[in-house]
Structure 1
């Protein structure tokens, strides 16, 4: 099995006057939702599908709750979630305030098993 990719043409965002170049881009092979994951987990365990769905929903709620508290959420062999931010630069430490925050995002740092999986992927070009 391999990950499909296509070729796309892009301009350099730092210098739009340069000629465009061609890059590889992953072609998504569908998606999977909570309900499907719950069904898959229930087939691989003694838990019912509704129990698995409840567990996934509770996990989502608690991840959000902990991130709002500024905590790193460690999910064992899966990886870690953490809030990150960008801010304006200021001349002095005293000038730094919440109003200077320009962007926020959630970082995901995969654990070793996921990072290793990335190294072993196979790719094939599609049209």
Structure 2
């Protein structure tokens, strides 16, 4: 479950300049390690640790390669991954260049 706490920040620009504004920020929680994931898969299946580790490593490499190629990846019940990147707004068609692209990010869709 996601847990949030309320934080405040003094606004430095915009219509609320000088006002203290409040927002919800997620609280950092524990992280499940790769070994813990391996252990759980081993307990739920008849696979060996070497088989599980090889499958996870192969999956990571495939996802990485496909993301670099710009393709979305559907992993069935796990969800899908997609590279998202949009361009900054410019005044003319000729001004659209590689430099106007925002940094690509990977989005996960459960």
Q: Is the TM value for this pair above 0.5? A: yes
Higher strand share: 1
**TM-score for both structures, normalised by structure 1:** 0.70
1:62 shift after superposition: 0.4
Which structure exhibits the higher relative contact order, with contacts defined as CA atoms closer than 8 Å and separated by 6 or more residues?
1
CA contact (8 A) 2:4 2:24 kept: yes
**Structure 1 segments unaligned to the other structure (5+ residues):** 111-127
- State the superposition RMSD in angstroms: 2.3
Superposed CA deviations along residues 69-103 of structure 1, whole A, max 9, x for unmatched, are 11111111221111111323334434423232232
Partner Cα distance (1:67, 1:13) in 2: 37
SS at match of 2:104: strand
CA contact (8 A) 1:35 1:53 kept: no
**For residue 50 of structure 2, what is the aligned residue in structure 1?**
50
**For residue 24 of structure 2, what is the aligned residue in structure 1?**
24
**TM-score for both structures, normalised by structure 2:** 0.79
Give the paired residue count: 109
